[in-house]
Amino acid sequence: MPSSLALTPGLGSFLKCLKTNPIDTSIETLISLLKRRQIRHSRSCATATAYLLRSVISACRTTDSAKLIERVQSVGRRLMAAQPREMVVGNIVRRVLGLIRDEAEDDREAEFALSDIGSESQPQTPRAFDDPALPLDRDSLSFRSEDRTTRPPLTSMFSLLSHPEPEHSLPSTPGSSSPSGRLPGHSPSKDVRAEVLEGIGEIIDELGQVDDQIAAYALDHIHSNEIILTHTSSTTVQKFLLKAATKRKFTVIHAESYPNNHEATHATVSGSASDDDNLGLEAFQKPLIEHGITVILIPDSAVFAIMSRVNKVILGTHSVLANGGLVAAAGTRVIARAAKVHQTPVVVVSGVYKLSPVYPFDFDSLIEYGDPSKVLSYEEGDLVDLVDVQNPIYDYVPAELVDLYITNIGGHAPSYLYRIVSDHYRKEDISF
Amino acid sequence: MASTNSDAAVADTKPFDIVATYNELLSSDADLTMPIAAIEALVLLLTQSASSTISETLDLLEKSTAHLKRSIPNPIGLSAGTDLFQRYLITTLQRPGQLGPAGDFKAIRTHLLSNGRLFIRRAKESRDKIASFGRGFIRDGSTILTNGGSRAVAALLQKAADDEGGHSAVRFRVIYVLSSTSQDCNHPNEEPEGMETVRALRSKGVPVATIPESAVAYSLGKADMVIVGAEGVVENGGIVSRMGTYQIGLLAKAIGKPFYVVAESHKFVRLYPLGQYDLPIEQQVVEFKSEEDLAEDCKPQSIADTNGDTSIKLPLCDSVDFTPPRLISALITDSGVLTPSAVSEELIKIWF
């Protein structure tokens, strides 16, 4: 790969590699990038996964949806095994699987509709005549209707009483799902694959727009002269604050998130951020201070002391779990807990793509540990031998510490997240 | 439960007695839950009666359901089953196309009548499903506190202890809260509810500690989580369960341990209790008595009278309490792990 040599390994190099290399090489490349943590922001991982799956599906020359599902599942399993804590990878795989299933079912339903027109007219006939001398006809009819009960049950609660059949959940109202949701109706003859590719295109578009969509809610939540506390250099949070800064004057207190993110945070505050993983978009952005916003940078240890003055805490996240809890940069839990003690509202901004249907059975397994030399460098060799240094990168924040989630489809209470999960992922894909 | 001689006598004279059938079903199969027994009783009722029109059937169902609810001291569990059955019938009839108004009523009738066994089997299978969903909660080295005689909890714990299906057995410990009230009922010598599960777990090599209810707060510090069963899951996501569950929930919240409920989705019941005393049952739990009342009680009444004609009051050993949703971390059901607020949505889906 001479072309990608110029780039440092990351999202950019992967996307370039995807264009030039065969699909299997690309899969391997992404797996090794994930394993080596050379691609690590949630959005970069999600984007890479979506692009990879798009290539996988376009390389898969079949119209059989079952085969497509199988292929995506096998690729998805390998990606998830490469980095199980990067939950967005699984989320994107699940959404693509959901897309394929939707398309396949739309087709089947369209066929049903056609056959229904044929058979529907028949029951009418005996009824209209109401002739008791038609028992034969009735019997054959009841047989047919029995056949057609292979239709999905209305809810899972009815599954107890219904005919034996594969499970199926009711399609959600299209209005409540994000753009990637359902596609409009189409004729059954259409190519499933083309529809799925279009759907993945929408997911990729969503990933690109997600921060701006979230930022659109900023003015509802940030008011004049408020004091906002935030943490880490999350682009979602920065865009959110910048949007509000165009109209309002407020103060931002920025905890520096030492030792894993403090450099990026400092750069964000001073406006010298140039993150190659974010495709250079951020470099064009003016920092908050240039909008006349007072930004106060504090060490993480000062969070509790300053919390009594804060009006609102706005946090970015790594991923959000189905129970309303979240996995975010280390130090987030301390902030959320301090906010709880001071009864300060905690708002979490996150794209829907970070919302994982996984239930956190074991919180400890979600926490990733990073490079301990950031805490205690190897130059202090004597000490390294004597103490055990740990550097957790993430924190698990339980749902009761969060007051509001703002996603690209609106604001939600933590207890409502299960609903968004069920809108975006199919039940059969949750554990594949 | 409250199967009595009077019920049996009625069964002889009347063509079909739903109450007796229901009680018979419950006592014949220890694995049967109340909602499923109620559904079975209704299926048998439909087999017996020769109703051929929709409204006739619905009317019959409604009357029998009301009768059944009136004659059983605690109809919360069974009403989940009867409601589900009724709603299934109505929604299937209303759905256009297949079995709906354009279709044949006979078809749905035969489906329901011929598949009675299937429903029971599915209900039991749903416990396995729950067990596979809930398996992830039980981790190596964890200690689980549980109470009561819930079969779903027993299935979950035993499945975790088994090492079949590629999974290796989880090494966990169980603190089993044994109720003291269940002993002094009609069978004073009977072992407390849950002993069977305790034995089954011990035989699988799971260390089990049994504690009285009074020791819950003391023991909770050693537990990592609480898993309980439920008789009914109400609309706001709270549960109606064996007396004593509420206090375990409160204690778990106070100590900061997760509190999980294991329940099949057919136990979801359309009820919105606002508090402990808002349940549609009468329980003799808090009874104020003076010396005079006691003297009066001793004279004419004996224990047997609790099952007499005014026996809608619940005996103490079967009493239940209501655990509000704020104490519940998650519900492990056969349709996945739900937050308490997801329950109302499931219920709304079948009613509207």
**pLDDT computed for residue A4 by the predictor:** 40
Measured between CA atoms, the residue of chain A closest to residue B108 is A146
Write the burial class of residue B98 (CB in 10 Å: 0-12 exposed, 13-18 middle, 19+ buried). Answer: buried
What does the radius of gyration of chain A's CA atoms come to, in whole angstroms? 26
| A255 and A197 within one domain | no
Which residues in chain B are contacts of A362 at CB distance < 8 A? 136, 139
| B164 and B210 within one domain | yes
Which residues in chain A are contacts of B85 at CB distance < 8 A? 161
Q: How many CB atoms lie under 10 A from the CB of residue B211?
A: 15
Write the pLDDT tens digit of every residue in A11-58.
Answer: 888 888 888 888 888 888 889 888 888 888 888 899 999 999 999 888
| Cα angle for residues B86, B90, B93 (degrees, 5° grid) | 140
Measured between CA atoms, the residue of chain B closest to residue A357 is B337
CB B167 within 8 A of CB B201: no
Question: How large is the ipTM?
Answer: 0.73
Write the pLDDT tens digit of every residue in A187-227.
Answer: 444 678 888 899 999 999 999 999 999 999 999 999 999 99
The H-or-E segment that residue A258 falls in is none
| B265 and B175 within one domain | yes
**pLDDT computed for residue A49 by the predictor:** 92
Mean pLDDT in chain B? 82
Residue B124: which pLDDT band, with cuts at 50, 70 and 90?
A: confident
Interface of A with B (CB under 8 A): 116, 120, 123-124, 127, 138, 141-142, 145-146, 148-149, 151, 154-164, 170, 322-324, 359, 361-362, 415-416, 418-419, 427, 430
Q: Which of the residues A145, A169, A355 would you substitute to probe the B interface, choosing the one with the greatest number of B C-beta atoms within 10 Å?
A: A145
A210 domain-assigned: no
Averaged over A263-274, what is the pLDDT?
Answer: 78
Q: pLDDT at residue A280 above 60?
A: no
Write the pLDDT tens digit of every residue in B211-227.
Answer: 999 999 999 999 999 99
Write the pLDDT tens digit of every residue in B279-321.
Answer: 888 888 888 988 888 888 776 555 544 444 444 566 777 889 9
| A321 and A197 within one domain | no
| A197 and A257 within one domain | no
d(CA A159, CA B119): 9
In chain B, pLDDT over 90 holds for what percent of residues? 26
Calculate how close chain A gets to B6, using CA atoms only, in Å: 32
Beta carbons of A145 and B107 less than 8 Å apart: yes
Tell me how far CA of residue B257 lies from CA of A15, A305, B222, B227, B248, in angstroms.
Answer: 45, 28, 10, 10, 10
Nearest to B266 among A145, A160, A323 (CB): A160
Give the domain CATH number at A65. Answer: 1.20.120.420
Which residues in chain A are contacts of B329 at CB distance < 8 A? 323
d(CA A206, CA A195): 17
What is the number of domains present in chain B?
Answer: 2
**Of B127, B162, B191, the domain-final residue:** B127
Give the domain CATH number at B96. Answer: 1.20.120
Q: pLDDT at residue B12 above 60?
A: no
Q: Which residue has the higher pLDDT, B276 or A183?
A: B276
d(CA B348, CA B352): 6
B302 domain-assigned: no
What is the number of domains present in chain A?
Answer: 2
Averaged over B256-263, what is the pLDDT?
Answer: 93
- B232-233 and B173-178 as β-strands: parallel, antiparallel, unpaired? unpaired
Q: Which residues contact B335 (CB under 8 A, 6 or more apart)?
A: A156, A157, A427, B265, B346
**pLDDT computed for residue A363 by the predictor:** 79
Nearest to A239 by CA among A200, A201, A204, A278: A278
Interface of B with A (CB under 8 A): 39, 84-85, 87-88, 91, 95, 97-99, 102-104, 106-107, 110-112, 118-119, 122-123, 126, 136-137, 139, 265-266, 268, 329-330, 334-342, 345-347, 349-350
Give the domain CATH number at A240. Answer: 3.40.50.10470
Give the domain CATH number at B197. Answer: 3.40.50.10470
Q: Which residues contact A367 (CB under 8 A, 6 or more apart)?
A: A327, A392, A393, A394, A395, A396
Q: pLDDT at residue A180 above 80?
A: no
Which residues in chain B are contacts of A164 at CB distance < 8 A? 118
Q: pLDDT at residue A177 above 80?
A: no
Beta carbons of A157 and B265 less than 8 Å apart: yes
Nearest to A145 among B99, B339, B340 (CB): B99
Which residues in chain A are contacts of B338 at CB distance < 8 A? 418
Write the burial class of residue A304 (CB in 10 Å: 0-12 exposed, 13-18 middle, 19+ buried). Answer: middle
Calculate how close chain A gets to B307, using CA atoms only, in Å: 33
Beta carbons of A160 and B99 less than 8 Å apart: no
Q: Which residue has the higher pLDDT, A173 or A239?
A: A239
Averaged over A345-352, what is the pLDDT?
Answer: 94
Q: Which of the residues A125, A157, A359 would you substitute to probe the B interface, choosing the one with the greatest number of B C-beta atoms within 10 Å?
A: A157
**pLDDT computed for residue B215 by the predictor:** 93
pTM, two decimals, is 0.79
Measured between CA atoms, the residue of chain B closest to residue A128 is B102
For residue A240, what are the domain limits?
Answer: 221-429
**pLDDT computed for residue B298 by the predictor:** 72
Beta carbons of B103 and A141 less than 8 Å apart: yes
Tokens of B210: 């049994």
Beta carbons of B106 and A138 less than 8 Å apart: yes
| A196 and A53 within one domain | yes
Q: What end-to-end distance do the CA atoms of chain B give, in Å?
A: 33
| A226 and A344 within one domain | yes
Label residue B11 left, alpha or beta by phi (over 0 means left) and psi (-120 to 50 means alpha).
Answer: alpha
A143 domain-assigned: no
Q: Which residue has the higher pLDDT, A337 or A169?
A: A337
Beta carbons of A155 and B346 less than 8 Å apart: yes
| B158 and B111 within one domain | no
Write the pLDDT tens digit of every residue in A309-345.
Answer: 999 999 999 999 988 899 999 999 999 999 999 999 9
B7 domain-assigned: no
Least confident of A179-183, A254-258, A380-384, A386-390: A179-183
d(CA B188, CA A385): 65
**Of A141, A170, A201, the domain-final residue:** A201
Measured between CA atoms, the residue of chain B closest to residue A153 is B92
**pLDDT computed for residue B237 by the predictor:** 92
Q: Which residues contact B301 (CB under 8 A, 6 or more apart)?
A: none
| A365 and A272 within one domain | yes
Calculate how close chain A gets to B103, using CA atoms only, in Å: 6
Averaged over A238-243, what is the pLDDT?
Answer: 92
Residue A171: which pLDDT band, with cuts at 50, 70 and 90?
A: very low
Residue A128: which pLDDT band, with cuts at 50, 70 and 90?
A: very low
**pLDDT computed for residue B210 by the predictor:** 94
Q: Which of A256-260, A294-298, B21-25 has the highest mean pLDDT?
A: A294-298
For residue B261, what are the domain limits?
Answer: 130-282+315-351
Nearest to A335 by CA among A415, A397, A425: A397
Calculate how close chain B gets to A114, using CA atoms only, in Å: 12
Averaged over B250-262, what is the pLDDT?
Answer: 94
CB A72 within 8 A of CB A56: yes
